[in-house]
Amino acid sequence: MQTISDTINHLHLGEATTFEGLAVFPLFGDHVLDADYLTLDEALEQGQARVIEVSEAGEVPNLLFDNLGDRKVLLVDGDELIGAKQNRIINLTILVPTHTKIEIPVSCVEAGRWSHTSDEFSSAKRAMFSRGRATKAAQVTVRLKRSGERYSDQSEVWDNIAECSASLDVRSSTNSMSDIYESYEQRLHGYREAFKSQDGQVGALFAIHGKIQGLELFDSSKTFNHYRERLVSSYALSSLADTRDEKDGVIPDTDTFMESVMNASAERFDALGEGDDLRLSGEALAGGALLAGERIVHLVAFDIQGADRPSRSRRFHSHPVH
């Protein structure tokens, strides 16, 4: 079985690219695997899956995912689904077996609508902004430990969206996260153009104004490349909404962050689909991983500490930020 520490110890950190306050460090693995699943987007586009409300009345924290096909489908933490009665995000990464219906835990990201706009959900091809995902990840871990449920604090999710809207001066008739993204699409396009995938890249470290914010890692370079643009947009939107003094001259402390992920407590729970959920918690750290097929399929970890860490030498980084 591949552990989180084993996985990280086999990663190599590349040289960072920076753009308007956001720095992205590519991560490369020793053994690049082929994905044995479809992504959510691929499954929906091919008619191999559908996502609907659990009933005509609907339930805010649950949706029904139906895998109609002969391949497993990967649902990734933070991905946004739009349509039906209100837009939602997926609470944690799930690998849905073939020909399986499963209720998936979600959070609402459109507080002002509860009426059908479509029978089925479609993929927005974006993820919740990283600061909101970090808070949600911590909430899901607490709830899972206490009650076995994979729910967020819905009120706090809405508060995070309201704060982001206010920081970016976006007004929305339904308090929708989608409206924030659409208002900043031109700016976000610039970020996506600035950060490209490299051969063999399976993940990345993201830093905002000199401070590491999160780690995103997949078991396949193809899967990372599929999600790269929405992950860049996720962290870029948080960077744009950041009202703190900018510290772009600071070199992010990658080594300490990676060590904190390896040393974090990782409690294991049976996954909703295939494999096991590993929920990470530690000092100023939140996140989770899906372990399936004896490997880490997806790992996400966030720094949830407000204060900056001091810089120090970095075992995982040997190139200057540029």
Q: How far apart are CA 299 and CA 7, in angstroms?
A: 10
Q: Quickly state the pLDDT bin for 258 (edges 50, 70, 90).
A: very high
> Packing angle between helix 221-241 and helix 185-194, nearest 10 degrees?
130
> Packing angle between helix 130-147 and helix 154-167, nearest 10 degrees?
170
Q: How far apart are CA 85 and CA 29, in angstroms?
A: 41
Q: Tell me the pLDDT tens digit for each residue of 286-304.
A: 999 999 988 999 999 999 9
Q: Tell me the pLDDT tens digit for each residue of 198-223.
A: 999 999 999 999 999 999 999 999 99
The predicted pLDDT at position 26 comes to 98
Name the one residue in this structure whose structure tokens are 């998936």.
104
The predicted pLDDT at position 249 comes to 62
Q: Quickly state the pLDDT bin for 276 (edges 50, 70, 90).
A: very high
CA proximity to 130, closest of 193, 214, 190, 204? 214
Q: Tell me the pLDDT tens digit for each residue of 16-37.
A: 999 999 999 999 998 767 899 9
Q: Which residues pair with 218 in a beta bridge?
A: 298
Residue 41 sits at φ, ψ, to 5 deg, of: -60, -45
Mean pLDDT in residue range 6-22: 94
The predicted pLDDT at position 183 comes to 98
* Average model confidence (pLDDT) across the chain: 91
- What is the separation of C-alpha 317 from the centre of its chain, rounded to a whole number of angstroms? 23
The predicted pLDDT at position 282 comes to 87
Residue 308: pLDDT over 70: no
Mean pLDDT in residue range 224-242: 97
> Packing angle between helix 130-147 and helix 221-241, nearest 10 degrees?
110
Residue 312: pLDDT over 70: no
CB count within 10 Å of CB 265 equals 11
| SS percent in the chain: helix, strand, coil, step 5 | 30, 35, 40
136 contacts 164 by C-beta, under 8 angstroms = no
CA proximity to 267, closest of 237, 250, 289? 289
- What proportion of the chain, given as a percentage, has pLDDT over 90? 87
